Amino acid sequence: MHRSSRHDLSDRRAMQDPIVAASIVAFAFLLAGLVKGVVGMGLPTVAIGILGIVMAPVQAAALLIVPSLVTNIWQYVAGPNLGAPARRFATLLVGVCLGTGLGIGVLTGGATGLASAALGTVLAVYGAIGLISARLRVAPQSECWLSPLIGVFTGLLAGATGVFAIPAVPYFSALGLEKESLIQTLGLFFTVCTVALAVGLMAHGQFSFQVATGSLLALIPALFGMLLGQRVRNRLNPIAFRRWFCIGLVVLGAYMALRATFKALA
């Protein structure tokens, strides 16, 4: 038996044990919630990144739906102006929905190796961008044509990997949004992204009642981790924490991409 086959078999056996599976899911969402509580984002990225090691990315994305939806609605409605982000980024949000619909076939199809490699690559690139901390700037007059393009491209990657990060998050940062406005805009953006992903998964039969129940249960450790992260945020150096978070994403993403590549070549 090839080494890659043995790894696949051990992964499946681990996830078939209810206690082991529940522990892995709980840990993934606890850590993801903690990161979101400290830095204001990262729940989908961390959760899918960890779960993607032991299950297909489409399964990890399905478990993400409820925790991501609830935490991002919470983040959005807590902001100062509910209507402003929706009006300003309407074309970007429409683009995300269209792109997700076009890319979802990669995530839900039989090419799990391709989806895993794509997910690992996106995680590594996202972490590398965070480490570089490049000061990108987008001119206001460019928003009218750039926003829908960013939305479609982000949706395509999200449909293939389940992670809504590249290039939308760097794009929002490059617009120079004020802190509270940025946090609220990200809450709205990730809410729409999660709904688009859920619709795509349901259309392909990947979000059944059983999966929805598991996703609902995953909300518990996610909320607990988020509250814990908010409590410890003032005790940590946010710059140092974000740096180590990005390093972790690069390592995790590179591991996933190389693992999927070696499996395909084996």
SS (H, E, C) the chain: CCHHHHHHHHHHHHHHCHHHHHHHHHHHHHHHHHHHHHHCCCHHHHHHHHHCCCCCHHHHHHHHHHHHHHHHHHHHHCCCCCHHHHHHCHHHHHHHHHHHHHHHHHHHCCCHHHHHHHHHHHHHHHHHHHHHCCCCCCCHHHHHHHHHHHHHHHHHHHHHHCCCCCCHHHHHHHCCCCHHHHHHHHHHHHHHHHHHHHHHHHHCCCCCHHHHHHHHHHHHHHHHHHHHHHHHHHHCCHHHHHHHHHHHHHHHHHHHHHHHHHHHHC
The pLDDT value recorded for residue 262 is 79
Work out the pLDDT band at 111, boundaries 50, 70, 90: low
> Where in the chain are the domains?
3-265
**How does pLDDT run across 118-158, given as a tens digit for each residue?**
878 888 888 888 787 666 788 878 899 999 999 999 999 88
**Residue-averaged pLDDT of the chain:** 83
- In this predicted structure, the answer to whether residue 167 has a pLDDT above a threshold of 50 is yes
The pLDDT value recorded for residue 165 is 81
The pLDDT value recorded for residue 112 is 66
**How does pLDDT run across 187-233, given as a tens digit for each residue?**
899 999 999 999 999 998 988 888 899 999 999 999 999 888 878 77
